[in-house]
Structure formats: structure tokens, C-alpha cells
Chains A and B, each alone.
Chain A
Amino acid sequence: MTKNQALYEYALRLGDTSLVLGHRLSEWCGHAPLLEEDIALSNMALDLIGQSRLMLAYAGTLEGKGNDEDALAYHRDARQYRNLLLAEQPNGDFGYTIARHFLLSAYLVTLYQKLTKSSDETLNGFAQKSLKEMIYHLRHASDWMLRLGDGTPESKQRVQESLDACWLFTDDFFDADAVDAILQDGTAPDLADIKTTWLVTVTSVITLAGLQIPATTNGFMRSGSRKGNHTEYLGHLLADMQFIPRAYPGTKW
């Protein structure tokens, strides 16, 4: 694998995670528990879709086959998608959405912080811009983790169950492969370092919220996003998202 190919894969991972997570958040629009949350969740969805456009456009350039952001978003099937598995999980209740977003935004904040030091100019610029947005996402999700964890007995139980369910997909965040190895030349951070920082961040909030760090003693964790081994949910999400460009090929909208 050349450096260019590794960088292409890396850009897809970032772009696809933002796109799929943004898509999930956008499904809340009009259905949130509070009007203020309709606005907040849509706003965060917009941030993520914006981030995905930057990274998919970059991936298209690196790939060099003339694919733009839309060609990559709308004309790849699930097996070609590189988003983290947690991002594609269905919204569930508001507590699940918050737990999912809490774990993912803590990860993205940690990752983007490191990427602001990347020797790759595009990744660097992307991270500078996106970090500001993700810090807000993490604050919003952490505030809700506290409210739900330390709210009512029902909310505590619900959010703990969601946290446990989401936790299964967190090994997938740190599943380093050849792509990461090639980019250890100052382009991308070491995922083992990211994991250490991420764990400190999430542990502090989970503890403060009076919740338990999910047990992983049974050892069963899901991963596979680097190879496009997704859960069944992604195909349905893409069927919805890609419907128009697939049904009317070659059209402009």
C-alpha cells in the first residue's frame, strides 16, 4: 500500500464516520424530546455532514478517479463504507443517541486534537476547524449523560443500558491496521495513545454521572469497520440515503 492509498483510506474513515453519524442525528429532526434538542441535534448533524464533505472531497482527490464528495457518498455500497460501527447504530431512544454521541464525540475530540498536529496540510486544516465543533458536541453529550445518569431512576437505568450496548462497539475505534502504520510518519496519531486519553475522558464523565463503566470481562466486542464489515443497519441507512442518485443515474439536483 502506498502512502497515498493509506491516506485515501484514512480520509474515507473520517468522512464516512461523520456522514453516517450526521445522518443518524438528522433523523431526529422534528422528533426530539424538546424543541431545543431538535435545534441542537440538527445543528450537530450539520457540523458532521460539513466535516464529511471536506473529507470525502479530499478522499476523491487522493483517489484520482474524478469522484467528488457525492460520487463517494451516494455510489458506494455498504462493504465500501469505512465508518465506525457505532456511528451506524440506530438512534434508539434519546438516551441511546446521547450515549452513542458521548462515546464517539469523546473519541473524535481526542483524535482531532492530535490531527491538528498532522504533517498533512488538509488533515491539519480539517482538524483545526472540526475540533471546535466536536468540543461542543462532547460538552452537550456530557451534560446530558449527567442529567440522565443523575436524573430519575428510570433515566439512570435507561442510559446505563444504552451505554452498555454502545460500549460493545468501542474496540472498533482503536482497531489499528496497515493504514495507521503507514501514517505513523507524523500524518496520523497512534491509536493506542488516543485510547488512553479517550478512556480518561469518558471514565470521568461516566463516574460523575453515577454510572458504571460497562464490564468487558466476557471479552466480546464488535469491530470490523476498517474492512467494511458492518452491522446490518448500514445497508438500510444507505438504501434510504442513496435512493435518488441510484434511481435517477446521471442527474443533477
Chain B
Amino acid sequence: MEATVTADMLEREKAFNDRIARGEVIEPKDWMPERYRKQLIRMMSQHAHSEIVGMLPEGNWITRAPSLSRKASLLAKVQDEAGHGLYIYSATETLGVDRLELTQQFLDGNAKYSSIFNYPTLSWADIGAIGWLVDGAAIVNQTALAKCSYGPYSRAMLRICKEENFHHKQGYQILSIMMQGTAEQKEMAQDAVNRFWWPSLMMFGPSDANSPNSEELMRWKVKLHSNDDLRQRFIDRTVPQGEAIGLTFPDDKLKYSETTRSYEWGQINWDEFKAVVSGNGPCNKQRMQARKTAEENGQWVRAAAEAYAAKHYN
């Protein structure tokens, strides 16, 4: 009996791998290996949590945006992120897990989110730097994910990328206007880039040699490019944009190589990366606390909504 089950499983897994190899898209009701499901839940929920935590550093400047049009576009951007979170949670639910459960894992500290959001936003220029660098890095990642093997995730990424492109342009525009402004504005813009450049590069994750999940995810075409490849793509695309508006980058090793037609660059501080991922970044505690407080303060509201629904819709 056991042997049959195993043989059957192996056959199913082989059929699944063949589908992946043919470039087919896996849909929620299709058979999939348990490990594929688990890895996707992990990745997708991390992504959704990142959208939610990502609302906080930018939300920090909504009330202080320097003009009404900037206020409106920042508010719309942060609202888009809430929408992305909702959308990715829904896509994750197609794998048989509940949003409440995922949120609980996050609040208990058992799920990760992108470390970039553990850095503080200290000036208005940081809103520009986040749009340009952080959303720029997210676009490189998500454009790759839009071709991933799981249908609901890939479709979510396609839709999200369109909005992220808009955010990216907005962020770049904030910085370019500042770079045409006063000395103080230029200094503010440069300072934001100095602080966000390396953390943005860390967004692509550990280098390939130290990325434990990569090999499996690439075999399943959940990931189509390695962390290092995507990071390089981001650098090659971003550095000329910065130079065009007079920004520099805090890396004295950064230089264009005619041979590789690509930028050579320095070394990520992996100790900092590990510290931030493991909870010791500049704002980890505040970010978690903000989400916990929102959750706790909203408890009576959700209880009321449930009680009302039970009375009136059952």
C-alpha cells in the first residue's frame, strides 16, 4: 500500500515537473507538491506583509507632504500598497491558507517582510528615494515574478508592476525637482540616496552562494533569475538615471566597465543585512509595534462587525 502511494506520488511529481519544464502555468486547483505550495505561501505572504509594513515609512510623510498635489499622490501611492497587500493575500488564499492566519503569523513575529521598511524616513527626499530606489528594485523583482509558474501570483505581479512603474516615476520626479532646487534641497536628496542605496541593493536578498531557497525555486520556475543577476540588472538601470540628475552613489568602487557593459561595484555589508533581517534594524521594533497597535485598537471594531453580521445576515 505504502509503496503504491509513493509510486503514485512520484508519478504525479514527475508530471508536475514536466508541466513546469514545458512552461505551463500552475493554477490553484491543479495538483502540486506540498513543498511547492509551502514555498509559495512563504514567499507570497512575505510579499503581502511587506506591502503592509511598507505603508508605514511613507505614511510617516503623508501629513507633512510639501504641497497638496504631493499629498494626494503620496496618499494614493500608500493606498495602492494597501491594495497590493490585499491582492497578494487573496492570491495566497488560493493555496488554501487564510489571511487571518497569515496576519497572525506576522504579528507573532513568525513571518518575514522586506527589511527595507525597517529604515526610517527622515526627510521628504526619502519619499523620492523610496519611490525611485525601493520601488525600482521591487519592479525588477516583480517583473521577473510576473513570469513565474504559479498563475495567481504571476497575474498579481503583472497588475502590481503597472502601478509600481507609476510610483517609480513619481519618486524619480520628486528627486529631480529637488536636484534643481536650493543647496539645501540638493543636500537632502543626496542624503536620502546615500542612506537608501545599500539597503535597496539588499532587497534582492543574499548573494547566490548564500541563498538557501534559490535552487529549488528556480527549478520550479517560481524564481527565474538569481538574486545577484537581478541586483546587477537594477544597478545597471539605476545608476545612469541618478547621474542624469546629478546624484552620486555612496560606493567608491562603482564604475562602468566597457568590457561587460555593466557596472562594477563594491561590497554589501552583509552583517548589517543579517542584523536587520533578524530584527535589529533601526525601526524593526517600531514597525512591528505599529502593526500590533493597529491590530489591538481595531479588535473591538472587528468584534462589532462580526456581531452585527451574525445578527443581520444569518
User: Chain A interface (Cβ within 8 Å of chain B)?
Assistant: 19, 23, 26-27, 29-39, 42-43, 45-46, 49-50, 52-53, 56, 69-70, 73-74, 93-95, 146-148, 150-152, 154-155, 158, 240-241, 243-245, 248, 251-253
Whether A151 pairs with B308 at a CB distance below 8 angstroms is: yes
User: Chain B interface (Cβ within 8 Å of chain A)?
Assistant: 52, 55-56, 59, 62-72, 75-76, 78-79, 82-83, 85-86, 89, 124, 174, 177-178, 181-182, 184-185, 290, 293-294, 297-308, 311-312
What residues of A have a CB within 8 angstroms of the CB of B177 in the complex?
252-253
Whether B290 pairs with A147 at a CB distance below 8 angstroms is: no
What residues of B have a CB within 8 angstroms of the CB of A30 in the complex?
52, 55-56, 59, 78, 82, 290, 294
Whether A150 pairs with B64 at a CB distance below 8 angstroms is: no
A-B contact pairs, 21 of them (CB 8 A): A23-B63, A30-B56, A30-B82, A31-B290, A33-B299, A34-B298, A34-B301, A35-B85, A35-B89, A38-B82, A49-B71, A69-B68, A70-B67, A151-B306, A152-B304, A154-B303, A243-B64, A248-B182, A253-B66, A253-B124, A253-B174
Whether B185 pairs with A151 at a CB distance below 8 angstroms is: no
- Bound CA–CA A240/B307 (angstroms): 38
- Bound CA–CA A33/B64 (angstroms): 23
What residues of B have a CB within 8 angstroms of the CB of A154 in the complex?
300, 303-304
User: How many whole Å from A106's CB to the nearest CB in chain B?
Assistant: 20
Whether A49 pairs with B72 at a CB distance below 8 angstroms is: yes
What residues of B have a CB within 8 angstroms of the CB of A31 in the complex?
59, 290, 293-294, 297
Interface pairs A-B: 3 shortest CB-CB: A33-B298, A151-B304, A155-B304
Whether B64 pairs with A240 at a CB distance below 8 angstroms is: yes
What residues of B have a CB within 8 angstroms of the CB of A147 in the complex?
304-305, 308
Closest chain A residue to B78 by CB distance? A29
What residues of B have a CB within 8 angstroms of the CB of A32 in the complex?
294, 298
Whether B63 pairs with A42 at a CB distance below 8 angstroms is: no
Whether A26 pairs with B63 at a CB distance below 8 angstroms is: yes
User: How many whole Å from A143's CB to the nearest CB in chain B?
Assistant: 9
- Bound CA–CA A104/B137 (angstroms): 42
- Bound CA–CA A70/B67 (angstroms): 6
Given contacts A151-B305, A252-B177, contact A29 B66 (CB under 8 A): no
What residues of A have a CB within 8 angstroms of the CB of B305 in the complex?
147, 151
Closest chain B residue to A70 by CB distance? B67
Whether B55 pairs with A29 at a CB distance below 8 angstroms is: yes
What residues of B have a CB within 8 angstroms of the CB of A158 in the complex?
300
Whether B301 pairs with A26 at a CB distance below 8 angstroms is: no
Give the residue of B82, B290, B308 whose beta carbon is less than 8 angstroms from that of A146: B308
- Bound CA–CA A155/B303 (angstroms): 8
- Bound CA–CA A43/B312 (angstroms): 27
User: How many whole Å from A54's CB to the nearest CB in chain B?
Assistant: 10
User: How many whole Å from B75's CB to the nearest CB in chain A?
Assistant: 5
Closest chain B residue to A43 by CB distance? B79
Interface centre among B52, B70, B75, B297 (most CB of A within 10 A): B75
- Bound CA–CA A129/B24 (angstroms): 47
What residues of A have a CB within 8 angstroms of the CB of B75 in the complex?
26, 29, 42, 45-46, 49
Whether B63 pairs with A241 at a CB distance below 8 angstroms is: yes
What residues of B have a CB within 8 angstroms of the CB of A38 in the complex?
55, 79, 82
Closest chain A residue to B72 by CB distance? A49
Whether A46 pairs with B72 at a CB distance below 8 angstroms is: yes
What residues of A have a CB within 8 angstroms of the CB of B178 in the complex?
253
What residues of B have a CB within 8 angstroms of the CB of A146 in the complex?
308
